[in-house]
Amino acid sequence: MLIVCRSPKGGSGSTVTAAALALLLATRHRGGGHIVDLAGDLPAALGLPEPRDSRSSDVNSALQLLPRAQHNGTSRTPAEWRDLGNELRSLQGPVVVDAGVVPMDPQFEKAADLRLMVVRPCYLALRRAATMKQSGDNQYDGVLVVNEPSRALTPKDVETVLHVPVRGVIPFDPSVARAVDAGLLAHRVPKVLEEGLSDLITSLTPHSGD
């Protein structure tokens, strides 16, 4: 199962959300799972040292990190995107990709079983997400909303504007930032993240061990 998480703009929360989703899914699969770093921020968010190469490393006993970010300033060719998609689809267990705002080849996105947009209920973020969807190249199947109660827009507004279902609502909570700052996210997913993703995770793990 290949899941791609991306954002319409920086600071929307895709890295932490993708990490939490991967951590929670991995614990529910007997063979563990993988988290793929395309945006380059996952090691820091998970409290891990920066990788020296593209080899996988353990996040914890259930999850492995695959660093696949481009650090030389060049973009992948369509063939390289195709090869990456084949590589990830060959892995056992759930595979969650944090793409952030990295431009992806449409064929790579189409290889995913589930494409999720992580947004805050922010007019600028929604405007960009709607533009991406209207372009036809960047499609997604659902939205994860990092909800800020001070915003005028609501998760229902997000669903109405983007015409895709909201698959989870994650409250904006200081406990998440504290877990990341302390390097504890890999070992203890904050309750607000687990609760916000619970319905999505249940839908993705209908049978124990799948």
- 186: domain CATH number is 3.40.50.300
Sheet holding 63-67, edge to edge: 57-58, 63-67, 33-37, 95-100, 2-6, 114-119, 142-147, 166-171
Domain membership of residue 210 (yes or no) is: no
Range of the structural domain that residue 58 is part of? 2-204
Domain membership of residue 67 (yes or no) is: yes
Model confidence at 13: pLDDT above 50: yes
Span 151-162, average pLDDT: 91
Domain membership of residue 209 (yes or no) is: no
DSSP state, residue 165: -
pLDDT band at 17 (very low <50, low <70, confident <90, very high): very high
pLDDT band at 210 (very low <50, low <70, confident <90, very high): very low
Distance, in Å, from the CA atom of 22 to the CA atom of 45, rounded to the nearest integer, reads: 13
Q: 119-130: per-residue pLDDT in tens?
A: 999 899 999 988
Q: So what's the pLDDT on residue 190?
A: 95
Domain membership of residue 59 (yes or no) is: yes
Domain membership of residue 107 (yes or no) is: yes
Residue 95's closest CA among 114, 110, 78? 114
pTM (2 decimals)? 0.92
Model confidence at 206: pLDDT above 70: no
Domain membership of residue 199 (yes or no) is: yes
Query: pLDDT above 90 covers what percent of the chain?
Result: 72
Model confidence at 158: pLDDT above 90: yes
pLDDT band at 207 (very low <50, low <70, confident <90, very high): low
Domain count, the chain: 1
List the single range of 73-77, 179-183, 205-209 with lowest mean pLDDT.
Answer: 205-209
Question: Mean pLDDT score of the chain, rounded to an integer?
Answer: 90
Q: So what's the pLDDT on residue 49?
A: 92
Residue of 132 and 16 predicted with greater confidence: 16
Domain membership of residue 9 (yes or no) is: yes
Domain membership of residue 123 (yes or no) is: yes
